Structure 1
């Protein structure tokens, strides 16, 4: 892969003295943020998303081939199972029988689909050897660099913790750009001959940049992505050929006219072409992001003058929008700006948000569809939707969540990425609509109908907003040393909980909308939250996020910064001096006084206590007539009372503080729900047959319902301004407003009859 944007100057004539130029005085720069490698790298997560989408496209081609070759036997198996189904029995028994009967046929269909993905993967892995070899041959006759260059590369590799140092080669006389390529286990750095004539600082900068790609571990992944992309078109072409041959065998006539007059193949070709085009553009976008990471990794803890001199010496280029989109490298001026302000590449751009949303939606729906087919007739069928949400949500957590956290912690004065959040939601909807899996299903929309296009993007947007709010809460703390990797494990875990939970709730909501219709909105909300089969995992996820938020709010002296940063950020121009042992103040911001943040956070905790006390007092004072004769109804009123406490706390914080109130609401609202649920459970503690089982229900149901409300309300909260109110006034006004609204909400609940209850 070519790694420096411009051409390296050819070697000057002997005696010019260019190679012996003295190093200029270079002042060390502040350490640059080290981009996380491995599975926690957002760049790597985007590559994995792209590879997953391409492999799932191959699986869809395999499914079409199954329909061509084995469609008749599959249809016969379905008809036989329906014909032999018992007429007596409950709907659950009928569903269980149908699952067992159709299981073998469905599992065979899933295996054939996986065969399509396996072919794409096999060809892509083969390209790991073919494509780099092709590039190395195009570099012309190469020669092995001297031992001095090999030692320099080994020294840089050891510094960057590369286990196996790459081999340095010299390219042909006409090679003017360095690149890194090779098969796994034998990666080569190919340098132009002109590098030998550069000043030592510039030559070292080029070598370090190439080794930085190897240290990032993305060389093999880049070539695998390209290999899978080249392997997919022939695999996608096989189903079209199979359909044409099937028509010819059935009719013995010219198959082209009846085949291409059918809309399926035209739609299939259009979606496949769009997928390949998007994959190519996304691949180039990630390549450009990867260049910034290599630049920063190569100069971490070292002077940047050498690399800046190499970049500044490149001739200016004028590129069209298409050339910029297809370019492997960002513009030179962009790379120079990043070297001088290392937080710039850490910000999530609009293109990044569009890529993550588009690919995540495609991955979720395709994996869910594949799992529902393959798990038919097995106990795993109930985990099919969770599988899709887990895969897509985990990649979202790293590709979006970790990327946003790094950007906000590196530049704490950065504005809230409202537009990027909006693009994330829109691109999620677009991904559900344009994906290859939807070919031939335009009349019913996505997997669960058009409702999935409405629920999943909305809740994903809420999860993204909550992730930003949690990052701002974490970054609001001051001082302390750089945290350990366990801190970032907690960050990733919180983001996984947010995004997987959002996708899972969105899937449930879409399914219930299809089943019950949009007129039963209240029932859909309850079945997706309080009475959901995944309520336990949802409540556990929200509890983990709330604990991390509460720990962040009450422990301001143990902050962690972006990976690779020391305890203190370098001061920005015009920035106020930092207090000893504390993070520097943001531009134009007064430094926080000792204990000030503690008072702010205790204020949010106070609102939680007020909301819980008002909810419990109102519930104990009023017993609806319908609940006096039914313990089940009384218990459900208790659950909804606890939900009201958390919901009112959330609404009050957003009302008083706007977008800034969401950060504190992440721990204050769940805390209010738990504080209300505890006394309501304890009131009947002596009458429970299984008190700890009842306590589990009192905790899980309300938290799961609150999670749904929090994700939905986080969307408008992202677009609110941030209000600043005096601390004493906010405490008094917040407490009065919380108590009044909680009392009114619980009274309205208790007089609502059975509208919010699950009737038995």
Structure 2
């Protein structure tokens, strides 16, 4: 629905360009001609002037674009009354069920906690499947007449299934999705009519000449692709909701009646097109789900492709719209951040959390969805190319050029791999019965992961377009304009993961025995600490982190490169940043090398800790040199963490294809400690030996 609304916003932008595009271009040109000139004008002053001058024209374009999205939303909400009536007529003529059926439905609704009881009606003799429709606030359950011949237990199971859709709000969700889907085509046709009319009025070209142009045909093809993908994912949502409705209908009851009802359906072999268009999943899959007792929440590859495609479409559409809205406001320049949050939120809610459900249901033993990660990255690249907003600019690539088709898909797949790794860590460390707060925390962690990764991918593409690829990879970490935002995102994920890890030691303890177990533990001794370190786990991982920080600080203090001597004080600070980042990168490499994807999850909190401790030690050593301590402190904390975040996202994809190794007890920490010490020392010495080649 978000992508469909954004497509309506693009239709509004096309209408703006047809009627008000000339005045907008004149306003932009006037602002450039009247800009302040002279050697005393700074970039900040010039940018402030440009923001104030162009704000009215930009805001007008944003308002017209938002009017297109509003038109889709209004028509979609209006369809909540129109579409159900249309479907009821197609299922009819319908007749009201007897009072006995109404009372049985009311009793089942009361048992399921539904206050407003739906009306039960019979469909025509041609109706084969039951469904629930109706205007908002008054649902109607339509049953085939053959239900009257079913055994009472199976008929009640069918009614409870339809009531489950009402209980969880599926009726409103499904019909609102369909309403927005039906509302978009007429809104997308408005720009076509406007362009034809304006072209005929201004250049006196015939409509046939305009229709033959490449712009309109490209616009139609992109819009058709969007509609096809939207229909497919809408049907996928319909089928996925059937599983939860089955689960709720048999909650606290025997599932025998529901299984018998599903088993009585014909078992044919539908074609792939019939499966894609079906409103319900195959009866055999629903029976297998009821017998297994857990939701099959792993998203199929078609759903993963649709999610990646639509999220990528939303990424740049939101960026353009937000930049227009934010011009001349304190949020100016934050359009890409807003776009990353929106697209990251879509990926998190539709793919990340569902993947966590699957991994946690298997207590961390579920296989890594490597194919799904590849499909997610590939579909993201296709979404960047296929979005409607790119109409007429295909030859120039994406918003940041062709490199974006490589960097953003890698970032999206890397965030997906990190999400899977963290889900496995939470499944192994957290208690088995999770509250709503746990799933809220999981959603927040996924949003930060995907939004931060998408922002890193965009920044990398931006730098690749203006400089050499080696310099781009250097600038994108330590010297990125989004370094502080990236550092905060990594800090949030690291603290959340560390909290879940440290609180996970009592995961299998019975309720009420946690404090007794703590009281019964013997006091910690040096031998106990050494045993805990050797056993791995959070204590061993933090030991690896401490060793990496200590090695980096020692190497930095032992070598003073010529570029950092004398009066160039900024070089000394930059070498400190690189040394602290080297400690975190060494943690990532060592943990992945010894523990595979499990090490990737541990590196999410170990690497930031190592980098932060190393930076703090170097900052304290130079404390007497600081004239502005707060600004220096903020940079010492943020810049190395931004580089570590960049390395984690890049290495996450290959780490997902490594096996999840768990070495023997005596080999869990000591080899990793030795390796991380060597890596940390080697990285810092290499940075110091490189001189100014790595410095801004």
TM-score (norm 1): 0.84
Task: State the Cα deviation string for residues 714-736 of structure 1 (Å, max 9, x = none).
Answer: 11111123334323234222121
Does the 8 A contact of 1:348 with 1:407 survive in 2? no
The CA distance in 1 between the partners of 2:435 and 2:284, in whole Å, is 34
Give the aligned partner of residue 534 of structure 1.
Answer: 482
The answer to whether structure 1 residue 451 and structure 2 residue 399 are counterparts is no
Give the aligned partner of residue 185 of structure 1.
Answer: 137
Give the aligned partner of residue 521 of structure 1.
Answer: 470
Does the 8 A contact of 2:534 with 2:668 survive in 1? no
How does 1:359-758 map onto structure 2 within 5 Å?
359-412=310-363, 413-477=365-429, 480=431, 482-514=433-465, 516-517=466-467, 519-522=468-471, 524-559=472-507, 599-629=536-566, 630-758=568-696
The CA distance in 2 between the partners of 1:252 and 1:531, in whole Å, is 53
Does the 8 A contact of 2:535 with 2:669 survive in 1? no
Give the unaligned 5+ runs of structure 1: 1-50, 568-579, 581-593
Task: State the Cα deviation string for residues 451-501 of structure 1 (Å, max 9, x = none).
Answer: 2222111111111101100011111237x4513222222211111110111
The answer to whether structure 1 residue 96 and structure 2 residue 11 are counterparts is no
The CA distance in 2 between the partners of 1:647 and 1:406, in whole Å, is 30
Task: State the Cα deviation string for residues 11-33 of structure 1 (Å, max 9, x = none).
Answer: xxxxxxxxxxxxxxxxxxxxxxx
The CA distance in 1 between the partners of 2:181 and 2:13, in whole Å, is 19
Counterpart pick for 2:71 among 115, 119, 128: 119
Does the 8 A contact of 1:474 with 1:559 survive in 2? no
Deviation at 1:80, TM superposition (A): 2.1
The CA distance in 2 between the partners of 1:157 and 1:686, in whole Å, is 72
Give the aligned partner of residue 64 of structure 1.
Answer: 14
Residue range with higher mean Cα deviation, 271-280 or 96-105: 96-105
Question: Which structure is richer in relative contact order (CA contacts within 8 A, separation 6 or more)?
Answer: 1
Counterpart pick for 2:31 among 81, 88, 106: 81
The CA distance in 1 between the partners of 2:596 and 2:311, in whole Å, is 29
Does the 8 A contact of 2:534 with 2:666 survive in 1? no
Change (3 A) 1:95 1:697: closer
Change (3 A) 1:301 1:678: farther
Counterpart pick for 2:89 among 119, 137, 142: 137
Task: State the Cα deviation string for residues 46-99 of structure 1 (Å, max 9, x = none).
Answer: xxxxx1111111111111111111122222222222222233233443333233
Give the aligned partner of residue 249 of structure 1.
Answer: 201
SS at match of 2:299: coil
Give the aligned partner of residue 526 of structure 2.
Answer: none
Give the aligned partner of residue 109 of structure 1.
Answer: 61
Task: State the Cα deviation string for residues 681-726 of structure 1 (Å, max 9, x = none).
Answer: 2212344345454333222221121111101111111112333432
The CA distance in 2 between the partners of 1:549 and 1:130, in whole Å, is 48
SS at match of 2:398: coil
The CA distance in 2 between the partners of 1:145 and 1:527, in whole Å, is 70
Deviation at 1:356, TM superposition (A): 1.3
The CA distance in 2 between the partners of 1:664 and 1:142, in whole Å, is 60
Give the unaligned 5+ runs of structure 2: 512-516, 518-530
Change (3 A) 1:339 1:692: same
Bigger helix share = 2
Deviation at 1:373, TM superposition (A): 1.9
The CA distance in 2 between the partners of 1:378 and 1:344, in whole Å, is 46
Deviation at 1:443, TM superposition (A): 2.0
Change (3 A) 1:621 1:125: same
Residue range with higher mean Cα deviation, 70-79 or 467-476: 70-79
The answer to whether structure 1 residue 285 and structure 2 residue 223 are counterparts is no
Give the aligned partner of residue 587 of structure 1.
Answer: none
The CA distance in 1 between the partners of 2:47 and 2:634, in whole Å, is 30
Task: State the Cα deviation string for residues 124-145 of structure 1 (Å, max 9, x = none).
Answer: 1111100001112223243444
Deviation at 1:151, TM superposition (A): 4.5
Does the 8 A contact of 2:7 with 2:69 survive in 1? yes
The CA distance in 1 between the partners of 2:115 and 2:639, in whole Å, is 50
Does the 8 A contact of 1:53 with 1:363 survive in 2? yes
Task: State the Cα deviation string for residues 279-332 of structure 1 (Å, max 9, x = none).
Answer: 111211221111122212222332211111111111222322211111111111
The CA distance in 1 between the partners of 2:508 and 2:643, in whole Å, is 32
The CA distance in 2 between the partners of 1:309 and 1:689, in whole Å, is 78
Task: State the Cα deviation string for residues 169-207 of structure 1 (Å, max 9, x = none).
Answer: 333454342110112111121223332332222112111
SS at match of 2:134: strand
Deviation at 1:598, TM superposition (A): 6.6
SS at match of 1:318: coil
Deviation at 1:520, TM superposition (A): 4.8
The CA distance in 1 between the partners of 2:435 and 2:181, in whole Å, is 38
Counterpart pick for 1:301 among 252, 255, 276: 252
TM-score (norm 2): 0.92
The CA distance in 1 between the partners of 2:455 and 2:664, in whole Å, is 39
Root-mean-square deviation over aligned CA pairs? 2.4
Residue range with higher mean Cα deviation, 265-274 or 99-108: 99-108
Q: Which runs of 4+ in 1 moved over 6 A?
A: 594-598
Task: State the Cα deviation string for residues 652-672 of structure 1 (Å, max 9, x = none).
Answer: 111122233212212221121
Does the 8 A contact of 1:648 with 1:741 survive in 2? yes
The CA distance in 2 between the partners of 1:183 and 1:725, in whole Å, is 60
Does the 8 A contact of 1:483 with 1:558 survive in 2? no
The CA distance in 2 between the partners of 1:445 and 1:691, in whole Å, is 44
Give the aligned partner of residue 528 of structure 2.
Answer: none
The CA distance in 2 between the partners of 1:710 and 1:526, in whole Å, is 14
The CA distance in 2 between the partners of 1:728 and 1:158, in whole Å, is 59
Give the number of aligned pairs.
674
Change (3 A) 1:425 1:159: farther
SS at match of 1:388: helix
The CA distance in 1 between the partners of 2:622 and 2:100, in whole Å, is 80
Task: State the Cα deviation string for residues 578-629 of structure 1 (Å, max 9, x = none).
Answer: xx9xxxxxxxxxxxxx989974332222111111111111111122222232
The answer to whether structure 1 residue 215 and structure 2 residue 164 are counterparts is no
The CA distance in 2 between the partners of 1:186 and 1:597, in whole Å, is 63
Does the 8 A contact of 1:618 with 1:747 survive in 2? yes
Task: State the Cα deviation string for residues 723-752 of structure 1 (Å, max 9, x = none).
Answer: 343232342221211111111111111121
